[in-house]
Amino acid sequence: GAGVSQSPSNKVTEKGKDVELRCDPISGHTALYWYRQSLGQGLEFLIYFQGNSAPDKSGLPSDRFSAERTGGSVSTLTIQRTQQEDSAVYLCASSLLGPGETQYFGPGTRLLVL
């Protein structure tokens, strides 16, 4: 079936506004991950979902960041009161069962906070 999809592809927002990023994983994949990648950098882990629960949210940089997953499928990452340092590409990935497996990535959402 279809791969991982993310929306929007690009988002420009003003400092202080809230943004919501969406991820649609591959159908049937129980594990879902969010990563952040700043320009020219590696991937920074944010949060991992197994089903609808998040066993590991250790990577969320502050309490302005939150994520949820419903129906064992779609996930949204919300950033409240955005700051300029939040500007990055936000990548979502899913895997069939768990974290040690091959992960399938979406195309990412490029966020720019002005």
| In the complex, minimum distance from the CB of residue 107 to other proteins, in angstroms, rounded to a whole number | 4
Q: What is the DSSP string of the chain?
A: ----EEE-SEEEE-TT--EEEEEE--TT--EEEEEEE-TT---EEEEEEETTEEEE-TT--STTEEEEE-TTS-EEEEE-S--GGG-EEEEEEEESS-TTS--EE---EEEEE-
Give the nearer residue to other proteins in terms of CB position, either 10 or 83: 10
Binding letters toward other proteins, positions 28-57, x by CB under 8 A: -----x-x-x-x-xxx-x--x------xx-
Give the nearer residue to other proteins in terms of CB position, either 77 or 89: 89
Binding letters toward other proteins, positions 75-104, x by CB under 8 A: --------------x-x-x-----xxxxxx
**Number of chain positions touching other proteins (CB under 8 A):** 26
Residue type, 11: K
User: Given the rule CB under 8 A, which residues bind other proteins?
Assistant: 4, 33, 35, 37, 39, 41-43, 45, 48, 55-56, 59, 89, 91, 93, 99-108
